[in-house]
Amino acid sequence: MNKKPYYITTPIYYPNSNLHLGHTYTTIVADTLKRYKKIQGYDAYFVTGTDEHGQKIQEAAQEAGKSPLEFTDGIVKTIKDLWKTLEIDYDEFVRSSDKKHEENVQEIFQKLYDKGEIYKGVYEGFYCTPCESFWTESQLDENGKCPDCHREVHKQTEESYFFKLSKYTEKIRQYYEDHPEFLLPEGSRKEMITNFLDKGLDDLSVTRTSFDWGVKVPFDDKHVVYVWIDALSCYLTGIGYGEDQEKFNHYWPAGIHLMSKEIVRFHTIIWPAMLMALDLELPKQVFAHGWILFGENATKMSKSLGNIVYAEPIIELYGIDALKYFVLREFTFGQDGSFTNEKLLQRLNFDLANDLGNLVSRTVAMVEKYNDGIVENTNVNEEIDESLKEVAVNAIENLEKHMDKLAFSYALEDIWTLVRRTNKYIDETMPWVLIKENKERLNTVLYNLIESIRIINQLLEPFLPHTVKKIEEQIGIENLGWDSAREFGLYPNGTKVEKKENLFQRLDIEKELVILGEKNQALVVQRVGKKEEVQEVEELATKPEITIEDFEKIDLKVGTVLEVSDHPKADKLFVLQVKVGPETRQVVSGIKKWYKPEDLVGKKVIVLTNLKPVKLRGVLSQGMLLAADKGEDLTMLSVLNDIEDGADIS
């Protein structure tokens, strides 16, 4: 363990579905980063895993008619199979249901309690089951829904233990200030400061009593530990916490936690506060990448929207390297990017088959044809060679600078700058003319081409390992080590090359669009059923059954819209005056996208009248108007026949 450690994590994924390309993205990045850091001489260690506890998984298991563990066992297997298919080189896969991990969570909880960081109280607030997040009323979105995923939240009042998160507000802010590289990209950092730290943190409810699929609080087994405390602790378990202190001390603090932006809050507010409370060092960096968006409306790829793309069909049809190249090259790390099959296929054709594939096959074929496959440097140099050599030896430095910033896409672009420069060198030197006129010069040109390919292949090593192997077979030598890319002329003179199959096939895009589309859709149907079914299952899964008594708590009435005006501070909201029997209610509603004021005035609507009044962006709302929505469509609910306003709905 003499090498410098670099500990990398992906999120600890929920095992409630098969993982899609969005999840695969983070894992491919983590794997590539590990390969890169190893090549750079680090002792890189990579942990991933599954976040198996919590209400969401318990409900999903119930729906599948299985015990939670039987349910997660099945899905964990599919996740591990996927990582195998993608040749993900992780060092540890932590299941939060592992006994050792559960013991760690209990020990951590006990420690925090003993240190006075956790106290008992009563929780009153709103819970979003899909996000496993607690919110206070003021944090809800303008429609009173989860501010993260905008789905229904449930009001909850229960006895709970609280973590004294509020006392860490300024400490965390200070940490951000002292460590500007802690949270990247900059946008995420600003968001955490304005949306959370500036508002002041509330203490965090860290136990639940309404379900039992979780780690029991060691001194009060009515309570289970909040899933996020449990899941974040997997990062400690993954490197031997509570078991192998030496290993733990070696790898902690983490070099980087990778994830997409929606879970940054947990990693850069809750997690640092927990670690401070435990007297542990904070991770060196948290990097939030963007979302892979999908489809015409560029929405986040997610199971509930039924717009999933799986990695498996892409790998089966075009290979792992093609998928890796695409996701690393196409999306600027840190920003959202939209996925389409067209873009994928075009990149495969242009960048991989044309630029790289052709360069290798043309060059090797010329060496075979013009010099019996032997690469001979005759040193008949011309000025033009210098510009090729310059681009070749500079590529590594540019790439390293980009990789320091995790700019994967730019790092690959640095390699492709050399690929394209080398292709241009073929056009400039015209070996097919040289064979007739100047065999000596031709051999130097062919040497320069092969040497350039050697450097390209060296630089490709952390990104496309299969392609690297194939190029090595064709150019007759194995890569000579990372630093060899800094020097031009290391390819051993007299080596024999051998033409093999093309690295990448050129694809008929129209034809492939059909094949790939069908394969993916078949998998979606096999795994989650048809789109519509998926949505229904998801909706149902988020709402527990209620009794008639529960329903009777809801006071719905017919109302007449008297007046509609724009909300002074929110573009999406209307402020409506609605007559409900003898009284007139002011209701703020997010329906502006679908209606003009004149469509609504005089219309009968359905009003939830006993919803606790709230201020939405400063304007009082005394109720809620009911509407039906599906995808992008929305319609207000009304009555079939005219009836006086104030009429009860039961």
Interface with ligand MSP (CB under 6 A): 11-14, 22-23, 25-26, 51, 231-232, 259-260, 263, 291-292, 300-301
Q: How far apart are CA 456 and CA 424, in angstroms?
A: 15
Nearer CB in complex with ligand MSP: 123/339: 339
Least distance (Å) from ligand MSP to the CB of residue 300?
A: 5
DSSP result, 439-454: HHHHHHHHHHHHHHHH
Least distance (Å) from ligand MSP to the CB of residue 9?
A: 8
Q: How far apart are CA 144 and CA 518, in angstroms?
A: 39
Nearer CB in complex with ligand MSP: 260/622: 260
Helix boundaries (H) for 86-241: 99-114, 169-178, 186-192, 227-237
- Is-contact 51 227, C-beta < 8 A? yes
Residue nearest to ligand MSP (CB): 22
**How big is the chain, counted in residues?**
650
CB atoms within 10 A of CB 80: 15
E strand or H helix at 533: helix 531-542
Least distance (Å) from ligand MSP to the CB of residue 491?
A: 40
- Calculate the CA 412 to chain-centre distance: 20
DSSP result, 499-518: --S-SS----HHHHHHHHHH
Least distance (Å) from ligand MSP to the CB of residue 51?
A: 3
**Beta strand segments in 508-573, E:** 556-566
At 232, list the tokens.
């974040």
Least distance (Å) from ligand MSP to the CB of residue 367?
A: 43
DSSP result, 458-498: HHHTTT-HHHHHHHHHHHTS----GGGGG-SS-SPTTPBP-
Q: How far apart are CA 323 and CA 247, in angstroms?
A: 34
Residue labelled with tokens 């309404």: 210
Instruction: Please give, one letter per residue, the 3-state secondary structure of 331-372.
Output: CCCCCCEEECHHHHHHHHHHHHHHHHHHHHHHHHHHHHHHHC
265 contact partners, CB below 8 Å, separation of at least 6? 192, 196
